[in-house]
């Protein structure tokens, strides 16, 4: 996805990790050439996510929502991959929803 991931915790407290990908010369049935995909973690699972991040990165200071966003962006969207983050969520039994749609 060419490292264009965005990480945001919205007003309802849900964590969204999303990115858009240009399909180049390909288009879907409706002629769209750009696809958005990502994951959503609902607000009542943010505490387990925070505890997971604290376990994975013990030297990180996670005292705010902004810190959670920044840590996920730096460690998984920029340095590793969102797929690895999804694996960590699955191993910790933290539910999330994946989505993929035309942008």
| Average pLDDT of span 13-29 | 80
Q: How confident is the model at residue 23 (pLDDT cuts 50, 70, 90)?
A: low
Q: How confident is the model at residue 17 (pLDDT cuts 50, 70, 90)?
A: very high
Residue 19 pLDDT exceeds 60: yes
Secondary structure in 3-state letters for the chain: CCCCCEEEECCCCCEEEEEEEECCCCCCCCCCCEEEEEEEECHHHHHHHHHHHHHHCCCCCCCCHHHHHHHHHHHHHHCCCHHHHHHHHHHCCCCCEEEEEEC
Better-predicted residue by pLDDT, 32 or 78: 78
Instruction: Give CA–CA dist 95/73, Å, rounded.
Output: 19
pLDDT in tens, 83-100: 899 999 999 999 999 988
Better-predicted residue by pLDDT, 96 or 81: 96
* pTM of the shown model: 0.79
Instruction: Give CA–CA dist 65/87, Å, rounded.
Output: 22
């Amino acid at each position: 996805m060419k490292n264009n991931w965005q990480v945001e915790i919205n007003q309802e407290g849900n964590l969204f990790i999303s990115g858009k990908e240009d399909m180049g010369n390909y288009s879907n049935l409706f002629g769209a050439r750009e696809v958005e995909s990502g994951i959503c973690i609902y607000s009542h699972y943010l505490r387990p996510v925070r505890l997971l991040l604290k376990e994975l990165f013990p030297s990180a200071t996670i005292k705010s929502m902004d810190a959670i966003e920044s840590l996920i962006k730096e460690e998984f969207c920029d340095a590793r991959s969102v797929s690895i983050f999804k694996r960590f969520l699955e191993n910790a039994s933290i539910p999330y929803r994946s989505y993929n749609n035309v942008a």
